[in-house]
């Protein structure tokens, strides 16, 4: 993971959406998020997600908060995985 890329993407949030990879998203989720959020995903209920953009930002916020150093692709993959499996938002 390239630092400049991370910096660039954090300056331009969500502008460049790469094609999501469901398998990678699953692995990333299981590795870094499952402990807290469980399977099936347990929402804190504090923040209802109504669209995938919100979901993307929350995934990014959590990844950032826990200093995972995720790049845009990691976040996109995990967002896609969570949405496909649990949230099922259509926009």
Using the rule CB under 6 A, give the single segment among 6-14, 16-24, 33-41 that binds ligand HEC.
33-41
Please, which residues have CB within 8 angstroms of residue 52's CB and are 6 or more apart in sequence? Answer: 79, 83, 87, 89, 91
Query: Whole-angstrom Cα distance, residue 12 to residue 62?
Result: 18
Residue 50 near ligand HEC by CB under 6 A: no
**Residue 68 vs residues 48, 49, 84, 86: alpha-carbon distances, Å:** 23, 22, 22, 22
Minimum CB separation of residue 84 from ligand HEC in Å reads 13
Residue 67 near ligand HEC by CB under 6 A: no
Residue 59 or residue 71: which is nearer to ligand HEC going by CB?
59
Residue 33 or residue 72: which is nearer to ligand HEC going by CB?
33
Residue from 58, 85, 86, 89 binding ligand HEC (CB under 6 A): 58
Query: Whole-angstrom Cα distance, residue 6 to residue 27?
Result: 20
Using the rule CB under 6 A, give the single segment among 7-15, 18-26, 53-61 that binds ligand HEC.
53-61
């Amino acid at each position: 993971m390239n630092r400049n890329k991370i910096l660039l993407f954090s300056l331009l949030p969500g502008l460049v959406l790469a094609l999501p990879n469901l398998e990678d998203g699953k692995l990333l989720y299981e590795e870094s998020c499952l402990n807290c959020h469980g399977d099936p995903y347990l929402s804190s209920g504090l923040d209802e997600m109504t669209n995938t953009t919100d979901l993307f930002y929350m995934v990014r916020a959590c990844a950032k908060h826990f200093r995972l150093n995720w790049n845009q692709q990691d976040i996109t993959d995990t967002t896609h995985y969570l949405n496909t499996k649990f949230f099922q938002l259509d926009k």
